[in-house]
Structure 1
Amino acid sequence: MSDIQTLYAAYAARIDAVLSALESEGVLPQGTPRGNVSVEPPRDASHGDLSTNAAMVLAKQAGTNPRALADKIVAKFAADPLVDSAEIAGPGFINLRLAPANWLSEVAAIAAMGDHYGRSEFGKGRRVNVEYVSANPTGPMHMGHCRGAVVGDALATLLQFAGYDVTREYYVNDAGGQVDVLARSAFLRYKEALGHDIGEIPEGLYPGDYLKPVGEALASELGDRFVDEPEEEWLPIFRAQAVTEMMNMIRSDLALLGIRHDVFSSEAALQIAGKPAEAEAWLRSHDLVYDGVLEQPKGKVIEDWEPIELPLFRSTKFGDDQDRPIRKSDGKWTYFGADLAYHMQKAEHADELIDIWGADHAGTVKRIKAAVAALSEGQGKPIPFDVKLVQMVQLLRGGEPVKMSKRSGNFVTIAEMVEEVGKDVVRFTMLTRKPEAQMDFDFAKVVEASKDNPVFYVQYAHARISSILRKAAEQGIAPSDADLALLGEDEMTLIKQAAQFPREVEAAAKAREPHRIAFYLYEMAAAFHAYWNLGNDDAQKRIIVAQNPQLSAARLFLCVQIGQVLRNGLSLLGVEAVEEL
């Protein structure tokens, strides 16, 4: 299987061989860099099947103009029996029209590679850490977490498919004031479980019923020993137990979406291990942290404001608009200080870092990128760091805003969403728009059986293929590649769309944009539905033509491979390819 090349990879290799030949002839200098040479479909399909910019990007090294170099490249393809024509367009682009045998070979490649079709070694040898979700451990997963969770998980899967060694990480924010609030909230539920009247949950504590089981578990384990004890006696115990229970709940909620993480990193453990202090020491030794005073906030009048000397990170050196404190006046670490140390820890075990954040964190992107840039210097190697911002999702039902959940008190949980519409619908829908774009999730529309619902449209294409194969089996017709040469222009259009899949995977991995796969699958499904519909107007264009079993077998074989491409794409999104709807 490793010797099988997909069409675009094969022609990239052919063009590379042509350029090597031109080097040996002295047309190109020896060792001319070819990293910017591309092979892709022309923007206008009427111009051919493939286009390359080779002459455009290499003409300068050849000491000539692009069209002159293009002439020499085109001459090399003139004798290639698999290339019907090679033409120069515009200032020097080269358009190739391929012989049908190329596309039939691609069908065979899909069949031979199966689940591996579309895989690449683009990221081979690179370790990438993808951190996503990282919600505060104070309650169940809700819609505010869902989109980032799906985007991060799909991105991790996509990068693995593209050859990267991927670590999926969750950062547990268990050292801040919010976990003390959680502990106090759990303490109330603990007293309630022991029969005490706790009245209404006080303002500032978490009111959701999800803490009742935590209180019951604490009551069962500890009895009433802490009911009348001062807070300092029970707070550490309740904090640790509540965080553990919340993380168990979070793991369970994420599992409903098919999401798992390889690593759960604790902020509290990070601080106990002295990592923030280590980061500060290194940064001070490189004059990247200094003791200074922040300016008074602009546009505000704070009566009791007074200048306080704090340890400040020189984030302005790396493009931030001001230097940032890493510790507070009481000596505790700021969120930024802890995050800085956390990223330093991640960078020890990765070549690249990717964080998936909510759009409400946009203001911290510059400073954390500055920190990673500084720490990259400390690692002695550049650490590419990308932050993907994900916009919130508005929940609707038939166009009307959704009422909040009773269980949680003020939000709709992921568990409730999955229970109502299913994991696949939630996951695919979250990837039908760019993450930085606003999104509406309408419970009525996402289960609609129409072309306007991409989840249904793509799954229906796969189900339709399965149905066709079942009908063929009933008629005693099996898919076969024996007579693929019988396939015509209609089938070629479908094959050309399928052949884009490996390119789309690599492009999506390079851009860190898994939603591109969802877009591609919709186009692939549309191409298949259009092909199937041809038979409505012309019986000879039906996939199964009773009087022509050889053509039927060839068309069925193609359908099997289209189904394979759909399955491969859906698996990248974590969505099942259903057999029937």
Structure 2
Amino acid sequence: MDIFAIFTTRVTEALLADHPELGADLLSRVVVEPPRDSAHGDLSTNAAMVVAKPLGKNPREVAASLVERFKEDADVTSVDVAGPGFINFRLATPILHQVLRAIAEQKENFGKSNLGKGERVNVEYVSANPTGPMHVGHTRGAVFGDTLASLMAYSGYDVTREYYINDAGGQITILAQSTLLRYREALGEKIEIPPGLYPGDYLVPVGEALKAEFGNSLLSKPEHEVMPIVKDRVLSAMMELIRADLAQLNIHHDVFFSERTLHGQGGDIDTTLEWLRQEGMVYEGRLDAPKGKTPEDWEDREQTLFRAKDYGDDTDRALIKSDGNYTYFAADIAYHRNKYLRGFKHMVNVLGADHSGYVKRLQAAVKAVSHGEADIDVRICQLVRLLKNGEPFKMSKRSGDLVTLSDVVEEVGADATRFMLLFRRNDAAMDFDFALVKEQTRDNPVFYVQYAHARACSVFRKTQEEVPGLDTSAAALAVAEVELLTSAADLELIRLLAAWPRTVAAAAVAHEPHRIAFYVHDLAAAFHGFWAKGKDDASLRFVNAADPKLTLARLALVDAVRQVIRNGLGILSVSAPEELS
């Protein structure tokens, strides 16, 4: 039950009743949302301001006409016009009580919707170079992308979670060279890791595995035979390590797409470039020098260029380097064309802070390869600063100078890691304080929310002690007399519960999973606040042995809070414990 969606339908129907000529595109801009100031009511709509100009009328005139229609609505106690033409509604108590019944009936499905209508969406996230274990710089994007995928699936989209394996290029050659040193070390040779190679101990087991499989036979083979063998083995080992790291945060991908499949004779880049030529999207020309400091790799030469400016980019982009190899962007175009040909018209890429310059070029690529049929949203996750008690925190690390995902999870746990990384917008830098996330206080957001769920569960245990024999089963709660809940505190909490479906839908459309973390934190705060009021006012206590009917009604409210918190934490892949030690 989504009160906001219900009233959006009623408002548009009222508009059409007076003005049947209004089109669907115009009406789609009508929104019903909470007013900025709750003192103005429960709902507010911009409907009059949306349609006034096309109708040639004053917004307040249109609003006044709508107000008259809603004066007869049984679910509305008052409706008035504010400001330039906003319409504010105050809801009748019975429709708020219906929210509790809807939660009791729908349970884990309360808030789910068919918003996405089964449309296919490809969410690509993490996509770290497979040159070692996941480090903390990857962790924020991993959690963000995984939660966004869950949020969109919850909202009715057909979501594919994809990892793009950067297994082509110079870094993989360096990885193989580093592994060969560990192989020689496993054979008894004393080695030193020169600058430019990967020094991490995580390659030691790969060297040992090569020794176990090949003995010392690789030493006598020419490099062109050895390198493919080593690359295959080390890439397999690194991806296994990365999958294990991600699993610690309950992150699992549906597709692991290898960049290497795009390269080579007849590969996707070859066919894509030929297709681009046929479509007139490629030409031979020169690029203007970049403004400001000229990069060291700048080449003033005639080259093969993609007409990226025609599709919204700031400049055209090179596709072939001077050595004849494809640029990274050529691979990007081929990869996203591959996504489009696989049936994805909606794509989301989650990238790190150092990729902000990629946004326009990727949008241009997708627009070009789909002839404008597909769209892509590139979400940038900003940096995370590690702190302890407000000071920079230097962790003891097992992987050279890297702070790994495993280091963070072992320090604070998966729940705290996920929740804290989501408790801020992805495009804002954030501080991750290890001391704070271990505190069991209201200042620790994840503890505060989990404690609200545990506290709600404790209410039911307390009920069995104070009102023994009272039936608190799901069936009993479903028929509780929630009409008894008429206090301001009761209704305030119900209003917040009623906002859950709209919060989910808005977060899914905006691709902003932090809204879910914010919402469950607000709900937890409201629930803790209600608990505190009960200490001072006996009429607001959840359990009242002298009034079993009111107790059962309050338990229905507590159960609704418990259920919605659990639904929210489920989207975040954070546990909802029934007790906290």
Q: TM-score, normalised by structure 2?
A: 0.94
Of 406, 412, 415, which aligns to 1:424? 415
Q: Give runs of aligned pairs for residues 148-297 of structure 1, distance below 5 A.
A: 148-198=141-191, 200-272=192-264, 274-296=267-289
Q: Does 1:328 align with 2:321?
A: yes
CA shift digits 1:363-401 (9 cap, x unpaired): 222222222221121xxx421111101111111223332
CA shift digits 1:99-126 (9 cap, x unpaired): 1001000110111111111111111132
Of 368, 387, 401, which aligns to 2:392? 401
Of 303, 312, 332, which aligns to 2:305? 312
Conserved? CA contact 1:405–1:411, under 8 Å = no
Q: Does 1:370 align with 2:369?
A: no
Conserved? CA contact 1:404–1:411, under 8 Å = no
Cα offset for 1:82? 2.0
Q: Does 1:486 align with 2:480?
A: no
Conserved? CA contact 1:183–1:238, under 8 Å = yes
**1:126 matched residue in structure 2:** 119
CA shift digits 1:412-443 (9 cap, x unpaired): 11112112211110000000111111111111
CA shift digits 1:445-480 (9 cap, x unpaired): 111111111111111111110111111123323443
Amino acid at match of 1:482: A
CA shift digits 1:475-516 (9 cap, x unpaired): 323443432111122110000011111111111111111001
Cα offset for 1:70? 2.0
Cα offset for 1:405? 4.7
Moved more, 283-292 or 504-513: 283-292
The root-mean-square deviation of aligned C-alpha atoms, in Å, is 2.0
Of 383, 406, 416, which aligns to 1:392? 383
Q: Cα 1:101–1:196, aligned 2, differ >3 Å: closer, same or farther?
A: same
Conserved? CA contact 1:32–1:61, under 8 Å = no
**2:106 matched residue in structure 1:** 113
Q: Cα 1:452–1:304, aligned 2, differ >3 Å: closer, same or farther?
A: closer
Distance 1:88 1:301 in 2: 58
Moved more, 344-353 or 144-153: 344-353
Alignment partner of 2:344: what SS?
Answer: coil
Amino acid at match of 2:261: A
Conserved? CA contact 2:480–2:556, under 8 Å = no
Structure 2: state its 5+ residue gaps: none
Q: Cα 1:337–1:550, aligned 2, differ >3 Å: closer, same or farther?
A: same
Structure 1: state its 5+ residue gaps: none
Cα offset for 1:80? 2.0
Query: In the comparison of the two structures, how many residue pairs are matched?
Result: 570
Distance 2:389 2:182 in 1: 37
Of 352, 356, 363, which aligns to 2:346? 352
Q: Cα 1:439–1:219, aligned 2, differ >3 Å: closer, same or farther?
A: same
Q: Cα 1:47–1:298, aligned 2, differ >3 Å: closer, same or farther?
A: closer
Alignment partner of 2:386: what SS?
Answer: strand
Moved more, 389-398 or 295-304: 295-304
Q: Does 1:503 align with 2:497?
A: no
Amino acid at match of 1:450: T
CA shift digits 1:298-347 (9 cap, x unpaired): 65589998643321112222333332211111211111111111011112
Amino acid at match of 1:368: L
Q: Does 1:95 align with 2:88?
A: yes
Alignment partner of 1:129: what SS?
Answer: strand
CA shift digits 1:4-63 (9 cap, x unpaired): x33222222322332343246xxx658784111111111111111111222221223444
Conserved? CA contact 2:397–2:407, under 8 Å = no
Distance 1:189 1:79 in 2: 80
Q: Cα 1:167–1:192, aligned 2, differ >3 Å: closer, same or farther?
A: same
Distance 1:281 1:146 in 2: 37
Alignment partner of 1:265: what SS?
Answer: strand
Q: Cα 1:340–1:172, aligned 2, differ >3 Å: closer, same or farther?
A: same
**1:466 matched residue in structure 2:** 457
Of 11, 18, 41, which aligns to 1:15? 11
Distance 1:320 1:12 in 2: 37
Distance 2:195 2:33 in 1: 59
Distance 1:418 1:161 in 2: 26
Cα offset for 1:81? 2.1
Q: Give runs of aligned pairs for residues 424-573 of structure 1, distance below 5 A.
A: 424-475=415-466, 476=468, 477-479=470-472, 480=477, 481-487=479-485, 488-573=487-572
Conserved? CA contact 1:293–1:308, under 8 Å = yes
Conserved? CA contact 1:405–1:413, under 8 Å = no
Distance 2:308 2:24 in 1: 41
Distance 2:544 2:416 in 1: 35
Alignment partner of 1:204: what SS?
Answer: coil
Alignment partner of 2:370: what SS?
Answer: helix
Distance 2:430 2:296 in 1: 41
Distance 2:259 2:520 in 1: 39
Of 34, 39, 47, which aligns to 2:32? 39
Q: Cα 1:404–1:562, aligned 2, differ >3 Å: closer, same or farther?
A: closer
Q: Cα 1:32–1:371, aligned 2, differ >3 Å: closer, same or farther?
A: closer
**2:403 matched residue in structure 1:** 412
Amino acid at match of 2:442: K
Distance 1:57 1:155 in 2: 30
CA shift digits 1:139-175 (9 cap, x unpaired): 0011010000000000011111111111110000101
Distance 2:297 2:47 in 1: 66
Amino acid at match of 1:14: R
Conserved? CA contact 1:82–1:102, under 8 Å = yes
Conserved? CA contact 2:180–2:207, under 8 Å = yes
Alignment partner of 2:423: what SS?
Answer: coil
Amino acid at match of 2:33: E
